[in-house]
Structure 1
Amino acid sequence: MVVDTYISDRAGLNNADFNRLSQFIYSQCGIKMPIAKKTMLEARLQKRLRTLRMTSFSEYCDYLFSDKGMEEELIQMIDLITTNKTDFFREPDHFDYLVRQVLPEWERKQHPGAAKRLLVWSAGCSTGEEPYTLSMVLSNYAEAHAGFSYNILATDISTRVLEKARTAVYEEEKVDPVPMALKKKYLLRSKDRENPMVRIVPELREKVYFRRLNFMDSDFGMREQAEIIFCRNVIIYFDRATQECLINKFCRVLVPGGYLFMGHSETLNGLNVPLSTVHPTVYRKL
């Protein structure tokens, strides 16, 4: 009862603290936080105030911006404010184009007998549905194409979603979009029918490696060069200047002739980037 009173007496997020937080979130994550999102931000941060037993958002801001807060609270705050919406086989046309056009073309370019492994980067992988979808598609392709091999790098800024992704365990209803043939090959069902869960098979899990990565870092710290990057429904949260900067950083990781897959609601029109359109929301590095 004391806790309920403590929570109800807390003042809301005032404009001054909202501005401090929104400017900080933009500088750290590149995410736009206009005043229209004030209520959303307040609701998401309430959980941290309760956990930390703080009486106001001003107290929380003072803590967050302290040296101790930067060390202990920054990741917690980022985990709460980032949006993580994803599904298996989301925007399925992209996977059809990958199998029909991109993979055969990549194979044709490889020297006969040379051992070459395709690297696909799932940038903004959230809870893992996209990289595991890619692993299903690429593994299925490999069965019909001797010598084809791949790895998938999956990154996100949120440690919380990366922990979920690494487990590779999902509610059974989440895998409804997966074709039945692939379900039978690549998903393990739990024996507990009262709590129906599935897990990605080990041979697919071992093809995916996860890493925390902040798009705002000046250097992604990547030694790898990727042939294909999936970054879908991510840049919609950034302003145009940040979008252009980010796409150009992607291009530095992408091999010449490599492909960038964007979300169907996103566009690169007007951005100064070395890419040409080859398919709806699919781009190729010049």
Structure 2
Amino acid sequence: MPQSEATVIGGELDYQEHDFQRIRAMIFARAGIHLHDGKRAMVFNRLSKRLRLTGHRRFCDYLDQLDRAATAPEWEFFTNALTTNLSGFFREAHHFDVLAQWLQALSPQTNCTIWSCAAASGEEAYSIAMTADSALPNATQRIRIVASDINTQTLARAREGIYPASKVQSLEPEFLKNYFQKGTGVHTGQVRIQPWLVDWVTFAQINLQEPRWPSQVAQVDAIFCRNVLIYFQESTQRLVLEKLHQALTPAGHLFMGHAEHLGKHEDLFTPIGKTVYVKR
């Protein structure tokens, strides 16, 4: 039987090769995410729960339901299931050293906005906030922090600001004391971001592939866009980079992931450090 007609994976759920190809096209159109051929099993594992919850046995029927209503709430669950959300506090720590130095060099009268545009469950945004608070006096009055993601479920977790204690084991004791609350009782083994720090960050759902972004990120001074572009095709990468360039103020900073390089986009950004760029 040709692969295009065979059940790839599934058990009691019918999952065909043409379903996988259709899902690839749908998530690309919706969010710009490129799923390569090796993601067949991942797609099944992540979407099978949605099929069961919506009462479908066949992937094709579930996808037909989505296609019949472009604004249906199920699209949000579909997108959430297929987005990757890896995060941690102070990942790629050199970025936060650069951020602190840049903030400390600002004139006392300067205010600025920093945008974490793929914030996942919030660790990056809170790392930015902790860095700003430790680098500047009165940072909460001078620095505005926006954290966005396409995935509404992870944004909800980010707003809660509650994490396993294992996630902060490597942080300096002073940071733990100043910025976290230790869980007790039923919350033993967890930590919570200090409420004032949570309130400092503005959370928003933003799809980077949308033609228009909200006004709150229209003019920002620094953008963390780390390990995002690797999920986009080259043409989408260029479109997103052009919009990031437009959103940045003159000489604005762009922080990228360790696997992302802007060699083909030097007309937009100049490298000033390891995966740190400034707007041309």
Gaps of 5+ in 2: 1-9
In structure 2, the residue corresponding to 1:206 is in which secondary structure? helix
Name the residue aligned to 2:5. none
Name the residue aligned to 2:156. 163
Name the residue aligned to 1:124. 118
Report deviation, 1:147: 9.6
Q: How many aligned positions are there?
A: 270
Name the residue aligned to 1:3. none
What are the superposed Cα offsets for residues 12-67 of structure 1, whole Å, 9 maximum, x if unpaired?
A: x2122222111111111111112221111111110101111211111111111111
Name the residue aligned to 1:176. 169
Name the residue aligned to 1:25. 27
Name the residue aligned to 2:181. 188
Alignment identity in percent? 32
Distance 2:30 2:262 in 1: 23
Report deviation, 1:197: 1.2
Superposed counterparts of 1:202-241, under 5 Å: 202-223=195-216, 224-241=218-235
Q: 1:187 to 1:269 in 2, by over 3 A?
A: same
Name the residue aligned to 2:76. 75
In structure 1, the residue corresponding to 2:255 is in which secondary structure? strand
RMSD over equivalenced CA pairs, Å: 1.9
Whether 1:41 aligns to 2:8 is: no
Distance 2:98 2:174 in 1: 19
Q: 1:236 to 1:228 in 2, by over 3 A?
A: same
Aligned residue among 2, 9, 29 for 2:12: 9
Structure 1 range deviating more: 54-63 or 223-232: 223-232
Distance 2:21 2:158 in 1: 32
Contact 1:244–1:272 (8 Å) recurs in 2: no
| Aligned residue identity for 2:58 | S
Report deviation, 1:194: 7.0
- Scaled by the length of structure 2, the TM-score of the pair is 0.91
Q: 1:117 to 1:38 in 2, by over 3 A?
A: same
Contact 2:103–2:136 (8 Å) recurs in 1: no
Distance 2:193 2:117 in 1: 20
Gaps of 5+ in 1: 1-6
- Scaled by the length of structure 1, the TM-score of the pair is 0.89
Report deviation, 1:254: 0.3
Name the residue aligned to 1:4. none
Structure 1 range deviating more: 274-283 or 177-186: 177-186
Superposed counterparts of 1:79-158, under 5 Å: 79-100=80-101, 102-105=102-105, 107-108=106-107, 114=109, 116-143=110-137, 149-158=142-151
Report deviation, 1:273: 4.3
Name the residue aligned to 1:53. 55
Distance 1:241 1:272 in 2: 16
Contact 1:142–1:148 (8 Å) recurs in 2: no
What are the superposed Cα offsets for residues 63-121 of structure 1, whole Å, 9 maximum, x if unpaired?
A: 11111x64121000011000000100100011111112x2233x14x6xxx4x422100
| Aligned residue identity for 2:258 | H
Whether 1:248 aligns to 2:238 is: no
Distance 1:95 1:258 in 2: 15
Q: 1:206 to 1:25 in 2, by over 3 A?
A: same
Name the residue aligned to 2:193. 200
Name the residue aligned to 1:64. 66
Contact 1:120–1:226 (8 Å) recurs in 2: yes
Contact 2:125–2:201 (8 Å) recurs in 1: yes
| Aligned residue identity for 2:185 | D
| Aligned residue identity for 2:103 | L
Report deviation, 1:10: 2.3
